[in-house]
Chains A and B, each alone.
Chain A
Amino acid sequence: MTVIGMSARRADGEDKVRGTAVYGMDYTEPGALAGKILRSAVPAARIVALDTSKAEAMPGVRAVATAGDAPGRSGMFFALKDQTLFASGEIRYVGEPLAAVAADTEAQAVAALAAVELTLEPLEPVVDPEQALAKGARQIHPDWASYETLVPAPRGGNLAWEARIDRGDVAEAFRQAHLVVQDEFRAQRQHQSSIEPHAVVARYSGGRYVVHTPTQFPFNVRGRIAELLGIRPSDVRVIVPVIGGGFGGKLDVMLEPFACILARKSGRPVRIVNTRREELATCGPRENAIVRLRTAVARDGTILAQEGGIIADNGANSSGETVACANVAGLVLGGTYRIPNARYVSKVAYTNTPPTAAFRGVNGPYCVYAQELHMDHIARELGMDRRELRMRNLIRAGDEMVNGQRLDDAYLAQAMERAEQIRPWREALGAASEADGRLRGAAIVPLTWITNPGPAGATVKLEDDGTATVMCAAAEIGTGAVATGIRQIVAEELGLRFEDVQVSPADTDTGGYDNGAQGSRTTFGMGNAVLDASSKVREQVIQSAADLLEAAPADLTLAGGSVQVVGDPDKSVPLAAVAATALFTRGPIVASGRFAAPPIPFDAGCMAGALFTHFAAATYHAHMAEVEVDPETGKVSVLRYVVVQDVGRAINPQMIEGQIQGGVLQGLGYALFENLRVGEGGEVLDQSLESYRLPGAADAPPIDIAICENPCPYGPLGAKGVAEPSIIPVAAVIACAVADAIGKPVTELPLTPFAVLAAMRG
C-alpha cells in the first residue's frame, strides 16, 4: 500500500484539537520579562532628541533599547538594505519603532514607554505612491544611492526599485494592431491577519541569542536579526514553536531583534507579543498598487503586444517582500497568454506609510485581476466571447512565456477543458442571461503560477526501533506540508507507515538550510531534500540488510517496515534489526539530502532588476465563478465556484483541497471587502477586526474542486507547489463575473456594495 495519495491525518492534529499544542503565542520561559516597543505616532519627522533616562528609572524596567543598539542596515531577503531596526535620525512611518523596553510586567513596560521623551521636527509626509514618484516629491530616503542591493536595478529618489521585462518589438506590433485597448486598475492593501499574532521569546546565553518565534522562514529571521544587530548569523539560533498561521506575514523578522537586544541587556529572557492593533497597524500587508495595461490585438483576437506599468507601494522601507517580488508582476502578466512583444515596468515606490510585505500570492492577485478585466474589455471591443478570447491566446505546451521560458508542460487548455466539463461555459452564460431580473454574471480565468524554487537541506536517520526521524528547518505553518507531506514522502521511500516517520521541530542549529514556508515550496523543495536523504538511507539499509540476508542488494526492497528479498517473501528482516546491526558494523544509518532547483533556460537579457526571473515547477489553473448582484444594495453573492488545479502529483489530496478552499476564501475577502485603509496622514485606519473584516463561515461559497496531476520532472515524486496559488485568480474571476452581471467594468478593489453601486451608476 502506498502512502502517496493518501489523505493522512496530520501528525500535529491531536495536540491542536486537544488544545495542548504550544504555539508561539503560548511559549514563555522562566523569568521572562515583558517587552514593549515605542512606535512613532507621526508619519515623517526628524528626530531632534530621544531621551530614555526617565524611562530607564521607572519601576520594574530592566532594559531599554534604542537605535544605538542596532547599528545594521538590512532589508527583506537582503534585496535592498534600506531598513534600520529603529528610526535613526528620521521617522518614515506611523508605527516605526523608536525605542523598546523590557520590564517585570507589561504594565510597567507600557508606563516606561510613556516616559520616553521625544523631540521631533515634522516633515511633509508623502503618502500616495504615484505622487511619491512625481517630480519634486520630497525624498523619503535621501541616502538611497548608498544602500546595498542584492542585484543591480533601476532606482532613484522615491523609486525604491524597478523591474523590467522588455521583449520583442512592441512599437512595431502596436503599429500593426487592429485594435488597441488600455485600462487602469487599482487595488488595496490586504492584511494577512493570522489568528496568532507575532510573538517571540529570546534569551542570551553562551554568547548567542536563542530565539523562539513562530516564523515561516527560520533562516531568514536568523540572517535578518544578525544583519540588523551587526552580528554573525551563527550567533543566532532560531527555534520554531507551533505556528498559528502566517500567509506570508511571518516570513520576515518582526519582533525578534528587539527581544534579542533586550535579553542581552537585561540578562533575562524577554517575551514580546503583538496586540491585534499592532498587528494591523505595523505588520506589513499586501501592497496597494496601480496597474496600467495597453494591448495591441489583431482582428481575430490574437494578442500582438502588451505594455504594462505597475506601481506598487513599498511603504517606508523594504522590510517586506515588495521589492524582491517586483518582477513577479511582469512574469504573471506574461505567463498565461502568448504575448510575443511585451514591455512590463514594475515600479516600487517609497511612501511614508507602514512597509508592505508578502501575502500569499504576493503581487499576483492584483496583476491577474487587472489582466483579466482588461481581457474582458478586449473581448467587448471585438464582440468576441470572453472564454474564446482566452482560449485563442492561451499558452500551450511548448509555447514561451514572456521571459522566453518554454512551458513544455503547459496544462492551461486542459484545465480550461476540465472546468468546462464541470460547468459548461454556455450553461453559465445562459443562467446569467435568464436570471429573471436578477443581476447574474459568470467568468472564467486561467492562470500559470510559480513554485518557489528555493533550496533545502535535511537529514534522515533510521532509529533502532525501525522508525525514521527527519531533522530540518522546514516550518509547518498549517498547510500540512511538514505534518503530512514530507512525512509521506519519507514513508514511501523507506517502506514505512506514515506514523513511523517523525520530524523534529524546525531549528536553525540542528536542521539544514530551508528557504521557508513560502510560495508553496515546502512539499516541493523540502520534499526533494528528504527524498534525497531517504534514498541514501535506503541504500545504507539495503547494504546492511544484504549482509544479514546474504542476498544481493539488487534483489532487496523495503516494504512494511522490513527489507524483503524480491520473489522470496519468507526472506526478510525488520528495519529495527537492520538499524541495530548497522550500528556496530557499518555505523548508524543516517544521511543528509539536499535540493537546489535545476537551471531553467530563459532569456535573461530581457529583464532588469529581477530577483525572480522565471517560473520554476510552474502550475496551471482555471477558476470559474458565477455571482449574483443585488441591484438595490450592490451586495455580491457567489453562487458557484470551480477550481481546477494542476498539482503535479497529489501527495495528500485532502490537504490540497483544504489549501484550495482556504485560498479561495482569502481571495474572496480581497475581492469583496478586505481593505486595510491608510489615512491621509499615512496611518492605518483599520486597527481592529471590527472594521477590518475577515471572511466568516457565511462568506464561503460552495466550491467544486478538480485536482489534476501533470507531473513535474524535478518535483518529489512529480509533485509541484500546491498551497499558494488558489488565492491568485479569485479577485479576477469575481470581478469579471460582477462586471458581467452589472454590464459595467469595475476598476478598483474591493468590490464592496458601495463600490458596486457606484460602478452600476458610473
Chain B
Amino acid sequence: MPYSFTVNGKQAASSAPGLTPLISVLRDELGLRGAKLACGEGRCGACTVLVDGRPVASCLYPLANADSAAVRTVEGLAAPGGPLTPVQDALLSSGGVQCGACIPGIVMTLTALLESATELDDASVREELAGNICRCTGYQKIIDATLRASGARSGGGQA
C-alpha cells in the first residue's frame, strides 16, 4: 500500500517500505535535494523538514509516519524566482550563511519557530536550534537573522 502525503502543498505518494527514511523519498523519488543527508544519524539537523508544522530529522523519520501528513521542505518556502521569505532574506542580510550546508535544515526549524512563537529573544532562538548544528558561523548571525525576521530586534529591519 503506497503512502500518500503532500509535499509543499502538492500531492505525493511513495510505495517504499514504511521504515524508509523520509529524506530518501524526498531526495531520490521526488527530486527534492534541498534537505541534506549530512550525518544520517539524526544529530546534525541538516535534513530537517516540517511534518504537519513540526521540525523532524528526515534522515530518521519513517516514511510511514508521514502518511496523510503535510510535509514542507526548503524548496517550498519561496517560489522559484520569487521573493525570499523574511527569514531566508534575513539570513543573507545578517551574514548568517557560510558554507550553507546546514541552512536547508536551519531555515525549516526557524520557519516553524517564527510561525508558532509570538515573542522571541536570543535565548529562545538558541534553545530552538538545539537540533541543528552549524559548523561555520558560531550561530550568532543566524540568531540575529531570526530576531530580525521576527521584527523583535529594533533597528534591524530588512536590507
Residue of A nearest to B95 (CB): A654
Which residues B120-159 have CB closer than 8 A to chain A?
125-127, 129-130, 132-143, 159
Stretch of A131-139, A446-454, A617-625, A661-669 lying at the B interface = A661-669
Inter-chain CA distance A366–B152, complex, in Å, is 40
Contact A244 B36 (CB under 8 A): yes
Contacts A662-B138, A697-B127 known; list 5 others, CB within 8 Å.
A9-B92, A18-B84, A195-B101, A196-B99, A661-B140
Residues on B with beta carbons closer than 8 Å to the beta carbon of A663: 138
Residue of B nearest to A669 (CB): B135
Residues on B with beta carbons closer than 8 Å to the beta carbon of A23: 36, 101
Which of B38, B96, B126, B142 is close to A244, meaning CB atoms less than 8 Å apart? B38
Residue contacts A-B, CB under 8 angstroms, 29 given: A9-B159, A13-B92, A17-B74, A18-B74, A18-B80, A19-B34, A20-B75, A25-B37, A194-B135, A195-B38, A195-B99, A243-B99, A245-B135, A245-B136, A276-B39, A276-B41, A478-B99, A478-B100, A658-B96, A660-B138, A662-B98, A662-B136, A662-B137, A662-B138, A665-B139, A666-B138, A694-B135, A697-B132, A698-B130
Residue of A nearest to B39 (CB): A276
Given A9-B92, A662-B98, A666-B135, residue A19 in contact with residue B73 (CB < 8 A): yes
Contact B38 A196 (CB under 8 A): yes
Residues on B with beta carbons closer than 8 Å to the beta carbon of A694: 44, 133, 135
Interface centre among A193, A195, A480 (most CB of B within 10 A): A195
Report the minimal beta-carbon distance from B24 to chain A, rounded to whole angstroms.
11
Report the minimal beta-carbon distance from B50 to chain A, rounded to whole angstroms.
13
Contact A661 B141 (CB under 8 A): yes
Contact B126 A242 (CB under 8 A): no
Contact A14 B133 (CB under 8 A): no
Residues on B with beta carbons closer than 8 Å to the beta carbon of A762: none
For residue B103, CB closer than 8 A to chain A, the reply is yes
Residue of A nearest to B40 (CB): A276
What residues of chain A have their CB less than 8 Å away from a CB belonging to chain B?
7, 9-10, 12-14, 16-23, 25-26, 192-197, 242-247, 275-276, 477-480, 654-655, 657-658, 660-666, 688-690, 694-698, 700, 703
Which of B35, B37, B75 is close to A18, meaning CB atoms less than 8 Å apart? B75
Report the minimal beta-carbon distance from A457 to chain B, rounded to whole angstroms.
25
Contact B41 A696 (CB under 8 A): no
Contact A245 B140 (CB under 8 A): no
Contact A655 B95 (CB under 8 A): yes
Chain B 70-98: CB-based contact to A (< 8 A → 1; otherwise 0): 00011101101000100011011111111
Contact B34 A20 (CB under 8 A): yes
Contact B99 A194 (CB under 8 A): yes
Contact A17 B99 (CB under 8 A): no
Which of B97, B133, B143 is close to A17, meaning CB atoms less than 8 Å apart? B97
Residues on B with beta carbons closer than 8 Å to the beta carbon of A19: 32-35, 73-75, 103-104, 107
The main secondary structure of chain B at its interface with chain A is: loop
Contact B98 A14 (CB under 8 A): no
Inter-chain CA distance A10–B135, complex, in Å, is 18
Contact A657 B95 (CB under 8 A): yes
Contact A665 B138 (CB under 8 A): yes
For residue B54, CB closer than 8 A to chain A, the reply is no
Chain B 95-119: CB-based contact to A (< 8 A → 1; otherwise 0): 1111111111001000000000000
For residue B22, CB closer than 8 A to chain A, the reply is no
The main secondary structure of chain A at its interface with chain B is: loop
Which of A20, A478, A697 is close to B136, meaning CB atoms less than 8 Å apart? A478
Inter-chain CA distance A363–B94, complex, in Å, is 32
Report the minimal beta-carbon distance from A479 to chain B, rounded to whole angstroms.
7
Residues on B with beta carbons closer than 8 Å to the beta carbon of A16: 97, 100, 103
Chain B interface size band reads 35 or more
Which of B36, B74, B75 is close to A25, meaning CB atoms less than 8 Å apart? B36
For residue B46, CB closer than 8 A to chain A, the reply is yes
Contact B130 A697 (CB under 8 A): yes
Report the minimal beta-carbon distance from A660 to chain B, rounded to whole angstroms.
8
Contact A658 B137 (CB under 8 A): yes
The 3 nearest A-B residue pairs measured at CB? A19-B34, A478-B99, A244-B101
Interface centre among B33, B75, B99 (most CB of A within 10 A): B99
Inter-chain CA distance A196–B98, complex, in Å, is 13
Inter-chain CA distance A275–B59, complex, in Å, is 13
Given A18-B77, A25-B38, A697-B143, residue A658 in contact with residue B98 (CB < 8 A): yes
Report the minimal beta-carbon distance from A244 to chain B, rounded to whole angstroms.
3
Inter-chain CA distance A703–B122, complex, in Å, is 14
Interface centre among B39, B94, B100 (most CB of A within 10 A): B100
Contact A17 B88 (CB under 8 A): yes
Which of B38, B88, B95, B125 is close to A658, meaning CB atoms less than 8 Å apart? B95
Contact B103 A17 (CB under 8 A): yes
Interface centre among B40, B41, B138 (most CB of A within 10 A): B138
Given A23-B101, A195-B102, A662-B98, residue A14 in contact with residue B84 (CB < 8 A): yes
Report the minimal beta-carbon distance from A444 to chain B, rounded to whole angstroms.
20
Contact B77 A13 (CB under 8 A): no
Contact A696 B130 (CB under 8 A): yes
Report the minimal beta-carbon distance from A624 to chain B, rounded to whole angstroms.
17
Residues on A with beta carbons closer than 8 Å to the beta carbon of B36: 23, 25-26, 195-196, 244
Residues on A with beta carbons closer than 8 Å to the beta carbon of B136: 245, 478, 658, 662
Inter-chain CA distance A655–B93, complex, in Å, is 11
Contact A194 B78 (CB under 8 A): no
Given A20-B34, A26-B33, residue A696 in contact with residue B95 (CB < 8 A): no
Contact B137 A661 (CB under 8 A): yes
Residue of A nearest to B98 (CB): A478
Residues on A with beta carbons closer than 8 Å to the beta carbon of B74: 17-19
Report the minimal beta-carbon distance from A447 to chain B, rounded to whole angstroms.
18
Inter-chain CA distance A37–B94, complex, in Å, is 41
Which of A192, A195, A660 is close to B133, meaning CB atoms less than 8 Å apart? A195
Contact A18 B99 (CB under 8 A): no
Inter-chain CA distance A278–B102, complex, in Å, is 20
Inter-chain CA distance A718–B119, complex, in Å, is 44
Contact A690 B41 (CB under 8 A): yes
